[in-house]
Structures are given as structure tokens and as C-alpha cells.
Copies of this chain bind each other. A is one copy, B any other.
Amino acid sequence: MPKLPLPPEADQLLRQANPAVIATIRKDGSPHTAVTWYAWDGSRVLTNMDETRVRLQHMRRNPRISLTVLDAQSWYRQLTVFGRVVDIHDDPDFVDADALSIRYTRKPFGDRTRHRVSAEIELDGWYGWEAAAPWPPRA
């Protein structure tokens, strides 16, 4: 697996508001996946979810996650980051929910009646792939 930090092209792909799928570990040790919004500030991945989401229970039990980001321009280019949830906190004022919603839709988060929770992730590794070759291309 390539070493951190992410090379510039991979960092850029992660900064864009791309579709992504996050995997967590269920109680029985099997994987769970879900589409998610995320943000990347260069040090942590931010995700935010309804407090009832099962993946939040998974993260509280086992912090290991894997996140695959598909380039919205061509999903044959992908970046996957592995990491650990290092902080879980309530988001009562929708600060993170709004930041993510504005990032993806340019509008504040819609449903203000439900409780949101944020999870911040630190990276342990990554790989990138485009069609049948590692991406970004090795120099």
C-alpha cells in the first residue's frame, strides 16, 4: 500500500465533493457499506449522519473504516482511504451538517428536526486506481 501523506492529485480528488461509500464493521465482524457525504481538510475526513444510523453504532464499537471515493467525472478513477474514527460528537446546531450540505448541494441542510452526529476520521493508508492501473501514476 502506498504511504501517506496523499500525493497532490489524490488530495485534490478527496477535497472535491465526490460520491463516496463508507464501510464499517458490524457487531458480527462482517462489513456494512453506505453512501455518504464527506469532507477533507487535509488532516481529517469529516462525516455526519442521523443519530439513528446503524453505522454510527458500528463506529462507536469499532473505529476502523474504509472510504472509497469515486471521481464524479469518471467512476473508473477511485481513491480509497483507510482510517480510524477518532472523534464522535453531537452536531446540535447543524454546523457540520450544513457544511457538508453546502459542499454537495450549495444549500443548508434541510431537515432541522432530527439529531445529527459527526464522526472525524484520521487516515492510516490509502490506494488509488484508475481502470486497471494504480492512480495517480507513479512518477
Binding site for B on A (CB under 8 A): 19, 21-25, 29-35, 50, 62, 64-68, 70, 75-76, 78, 80, 82, 110-111, 129, 132
Contacts and interface: CB of A to CB of B under 8 A. Distances in A.
A33 B67 contact: yes
A29 B29 CA distance: 7
Contact of A132 (B34, B68, B111): B111
Given A21-B21, A29-B25, A34 B111 contact: no
Main secondary structure on A side of the interface with B: strand
B132 A35 contact: no
A67 B32 CA distance: 8
B68 A34 contact: yes
Contact of A23 (B19, B23, B29, B78): B23
B70 A32 contact: no
Given A25-B29, A30-B64, A66-B23, A75 B111 contact: no
A35 B82 contact: no
